[in-house]
Amino acid sequence: MKTAEIARRYLDYFEKKGHTIVPSASLVSDDPALLFTVAGMVPFIPYLSGDVPAPYKRAADNQKCIRTNDIEEVGKTPRHGTFFQMLGNWSFGDYFKKDAIRYAWELLTTPDEDGGLGFDPKDLWVTVYEEDDEAIQLWLEHSTLPEERIQRLGKDTNYWTTGLPGPAGPCSEIFFDRGPAYGIDGGPATDDDRYVEIWNLVFMQYEITNVRSKYEFDIIGDLPAQNIDTGMGLERVAFIKQGVDNMYETDQVRPVLDKAVELSGKRYGENHEDDVRFRVVADHIRSSLMLLSDGVTPANDGRGYILRRLMRRAIRSMRLLGVDGPTFAELFAVSRDAMKESYPVVETDYARLAQYALAEEATFLRTLASGSEILDTSIESAKSTQSTALSGSQAFLLHDTYGFPIDLTLEIAEEAGLTVDRAGFDTLMKEQRDRAKADARSRKGQLADTSIYRDFRALGETVFTGYTDLETESRILGILVDGAPADRASQGQIAEVIVAETALYAESGGQVADKGVIVGPGYELEVLDVQKPVPGLISHTVEVTTGEVAVGHVATTVVDAANRRAAAQAHSATHLVHAALRDTLGKSATQAGSLNRAGYLRFDFSWGQALSPETRSEIEEIANNAVRDDLEVTTRVMSLDEAKAAGAMALFGEKYGDTVRMVDIGGPWSRELCAGTHVSSSAQVGLINLVGESSVGASNRRVEALVGQDAFRELAAERAIVSQLTSGLKIPRDQLPARIAELQANLKAAEKKIAQFEAKALGERVPALAAAAVSAGAYRVVAQSVGTVGSADDLRSLALQIRERLGSDAGVVALGGAAGGRPVVIVATNDAARAAGAKAGLLAKTAAGVLGGGGGGRDDVAQGGGTDASALPTALTSIVSALEGATA
């Protein structure tokens, strides 16, 4: 039974049981405590906790999930994958334990031919929370399980929490027995791989606080309603139903594994280490494809770092399988074909996804090449000092700074006959992880407990009137002071205020929050921020500037009209720039992020190379032509499907409900889903001035623009500068570029002549400096400071000339000087000195340590530097001392 068919049967079954079928939420989680949707229940947390009223009593879904906390186990066990799909059925205050158990058993054991999943009851086991007698009794009543196949387990396995204050409850897990060939008898309590968990039924009924660990917390009472949260692992059911040994061999994953086998020329099933690598490739390619399809792009932090890590682990695994060249073009195409039946977007948007993947692969292959050079230098250095190992710090530097995998460091070092201080590397890695965990705990600890908004949200959605009104009269529904409910707030206090209706725009969709005030009888509040802490609720952070405000007071929200107008200009300009980019670059130049505030816009888009000045000018001209043409701006509210059918762009990274707002500028020329505020016609934008274009990743570019009055001021300032230049140089404006180029050429020529004079003057000092050679052990040494030089290259040239003057004796030249205001030391050795053991790189490093910097290089010539120019005499003396000590 194919994976897509299992999902279809599951959803069909629960739809017949009165469940609303809900599409999968994005892999990018709305929860600020999470980078990704790590479990099927994440999108439903507001409903399960009661913070937001559920729009349905029963629901079922197939949720995409990403989880990387067990990434090192991928490929080693039959069930660990970074991307997985969780089938779930949900009840929000409707049915509870009995029906959850009854539904699960019926679907699992109904024969294939009757639309079920066809599991033999004799292969199924169940675990329950050890104190949940009710669940045991229900299993006995609604299944054919004998009591000995129902096992009681403790909180560590059969009590569900998020790990944070909020909803919790006992759970019951269903396991499939793979048979004696896979392990020992005894049921799931043995914790053996023979028993595969396929479904978890969570009976969510309590609210907990003071969470100290997975099984240490305080139950503070019942949830507002008893809920059911279940999750059936689609990949786990698929590998059982398809008769294969693990999830990597199922129909949605195995094709990638087979392609990796073909590219490597090796066989699957012959070598355990190679098999693990094949599985890692298959899993990580699919996970990367799905993350890209939900708008995540490779980056050095956050979600983008996780994606980058997955891709680089796949490249590393292919390299360890003997493939050094690019493979993503073939691997991603195979994964696309395997996943498109379940997720058509991976085919329709494949050009964009492949662009990111191929660019990331090319970048990392270059990283591997440069990392190999650095590693080769480290190996050569270790051998020159008769060391048999590379330090843990060297391996960590390669991993952390250059992205060079430790596995490759170990492999290459072993080929060179060296070991790596793996313990030292692991210690540094642990320290880095501990810092990251501490930072994550810190950020998590700073997150507001959204349950404080539950009672306010229960009163209904906040009505936003700001599309048509800049003032709206309402009533104060709630006040929060220091994160706790309060009945009033007084002058000077900072508080959060909830009202029933508001004209103030809450930050979203790249548009910053409105500025404004909230006023009422005897009080005035300055609005500092406007946010949506939970879906459907708008909260205003305010400072009480006059009087005292209390719950129940009449309140009028007043928008700063000038700021709103400028923000609307910027947001509409963003749409115009997006359309102009697509006109100029093509449809693959899609939005990857934006920021709009009064007078300014920042727009990120998918593109792999810098824009030429001509292209920038063309984009700017197209956008401003749209302003000149005074295009009508219209908005319509419709279903998401209707908007997509009309050609509206659903931007990656954005979340959309069933009903959306579509913004047209000039009809279909610019048609996007957008909840922001806009001008009524494009001429009201005024002016768009592109002021910057830069890279924000391997496949992302960013343009920045000033809008309206801010754009005019910038152009006026540039005009003033041009006027000053033309006046000072006494030339017409159209001759200014040529005149500046002429001045630059003259300046370069003068600098070249000065450098020649300086080099000649330095060269004239060669005889005197060579004559100043002194004995230091077995060496003749010139160790002199020559003062200020034009560059380190000048100092290097002088050192090499002096070295030639030292003849056949073991000669070492160490010259110090100041170049660009910083101290520099050049060390040069001749053949006789090197034969006697003198190494220029080590000597330069010695001097650099005195100067407060670093240095090194080849044995014949090397350079060091630092920050303390006053220490140059001491640095040169240290070289002489080192040579005397080496002789001794």
DSSP string, 478-540: EEEETTEEESEEETT-EEEEEESEE-SPPSBTTBPPPPEEEEETTEEEEEEEEEEEETTEEEE
Dist. CA 470–CA 467, nearest whole Å? 8
Domain boundaries, the chain: 3-244, 252-366, 450-559, 564-716, 765-887
pLDDT, residue 337, reads 96
Q: What's the pLDDT tens digit per position in 166-199?
A: 788 999 999 999 999 999 999 999 988 899 999 9
pLDDT at 403 over 70: no
Tell me phi and psi for residue 599, to 5 degrees. Answer: 80, 0
DSSP-assigned letter for residue 593: E
Considering only CA atoms, which of 787, 846, 783, 841 is closest in space to residue 811?
Answer: 783
pLDDT, residue 3, reads 95
Q: Which two tokens stand for residue 857?
A: 């290089």
CB burial string 545-568: b at 16+ within 10 A, e below: eebebebebebebbbbeebbbbbb
DSSP 100-118: HHHHHHHHHHS-GGGTS--
- Mean pLDDT computed over 569-578: 96
- Mean pLDDT computed over 240-253: 93
Beta-bridge partners for 218: 209
**Which one is predicted more confidently, 760 or 361?**
361
Beta strands 700-707 and 688-695, pairing class: antiparallel
pLDDT, residue 590, reads 82
Whether the Cβ atoms of residue 561 and residue 598 lie closer than 8 Å to each other: no
CATH code of 3-244, in short, is 3.30.930.10
pLDDT, residue 399, reads 76
Q: What's the pLDDT tens digit per position in 477-493?
A: 999 999 889 999 999 99
Per-residue CA distances from 611 to 577, 581, 703 (Å)? 14, 11, 10
**Pseudo-torsion of CA 734, 739, 744, 745, nearest 10°?**
120
**CA 772 and chain centroid, separation:** 59
**CA 329 and chain centroid, separation:** 23
- Mean pLDDT computed over 153-176: 89
Q: What's the pLDDT tens digit per position in 279-290?
A: 999 999 999 999
pLDDT at 377 over 80: no
DSSP 54-97: -S-SEEEEEEEEE--TTGGGTTTSSS--SEEEEEEEEEESS--H
Sign of the torsion formed by the C-alpha atoms of 611, 613, 615 and 620: positive
- Mean pLDDT computed over 389-418: 77
% of the chain with per-residue pLDDT over 90: 58
pLDDT at 795 over 60: yes
Considering only CA atoms, which of 203, 91, 221 is closest in space to residue 165?
Answer: 221
- Mean pLDDT computed over 132-138: 96
DSSP-assigned letter for residue 656: -
Q: Which two tokens stand for residue 797?
A: 């040239």
Residues making up the annotated binding site are 571, 575, 674, 678
pLDDT at 504 over 70: yes
Dist. CA 561–CA 538, nearest whole Å? 20
Confidence tier at 248 by pLDDT (50, 70, 90): very high
Dist. CA 790–CA 243, nearest whole Å? 74
% of the chain with per-residue pLDDT over 70: 96
Considering only CA atoms, which of 109, 126, 129, 127 is closest in space to residue 118?
Answer: 109
Question: Regarding the domain delimited by 765-887, which CATH topology (the fold level of the hierarchy) does it fall under?
Answer: Diaminopimelate Epimerase; Chain A, domain 1 (3.10.310)
DSSP 205-228: EEEEEEEEETTEEEEEEEEEEEEE
Confidence tier at 447 by pLDDT (50, 70, 90): very low
Whether the Cβ atoms of residue 408 and residue 376 lie closer than 8 Å to each other: no
Average pLDDT for the chain? 89
Whether the Cβ atoms of residue 409 and residue 375 lie closer than 8 Å to each other: yes
| Other Cβ atoms closer than 10 A to 515 | 20
Please state which of the ranges 51-60, 238-247, 414-423, 805-814 shows the lowest mean pLDDT. 414-423
Q: Which two tokens stand for residue 472?
A: 């709206």
pLDDT at 263 over 50: yes
Cα 772-775-780 angle, rounded to 5 deg: 70
Residues making up the annotated binding site for Zn(2+) are 571, 575, 674, 678
pLDDT at 444 over 50: no
Confidence tier at 449 by pLDDT (50, 70, 90): low
Q: What's the pLDDT tens digit per position in 527-545?
A: 999 999 888 899 999 999 9
pLDDT, residue 448, reads 44
DSSP 446-477: TS--GGGGHHHHHT-PPEE-TTT-SEEEEEEE
Distance between first and last Cα of the chain: 80
| 613-628 and 561-585 helices, crossing angle to 10° | 130
pLDDT at 745 over 70: yes
Considering only CA atoms, which of 644, 662, 651 is closest in space to residue 603?
Answer: 651
Burial category of 753 from C-beta neighbours within 10 Å (exposed 0-12, middle 13-18, buried 19 and up): exposed
Tell me phi and psi for residue 184, to 5 degrees. Answer: -85, 160
Dist. CA 563–CA 351, nearest whole Å? 39
pLDDT, residue 651, reads 62
Dist. CA 567–CA 873, nearest whole Å? 60
The CATH class given to the 450-559 domain equals mainly beta
pLDDT, residue 560, reads 97
**Which one is predicted more confidently, 437 or 44?**
44
Confidence tier at 103 by pLDDT (50, 70, 90): very high
Question: Regarding the domain delimited by 564-716, which CATH topology (the fold level of the hierarchy) does it fall under?
Answer: Threonyl-tRNA Synthetase; Chain A, domain 2 (3.30.980)
Whether the Cβ atoms of residue 736 and residue 726 lie closer than 8 Å to each other: yes
Q: Where are the beta strands (DSSP E) in 246-388?
A: none
Dist. CA 826–CA 823, nearest whole Å? 10
- Mean pLDDT computed over 15-35: 87
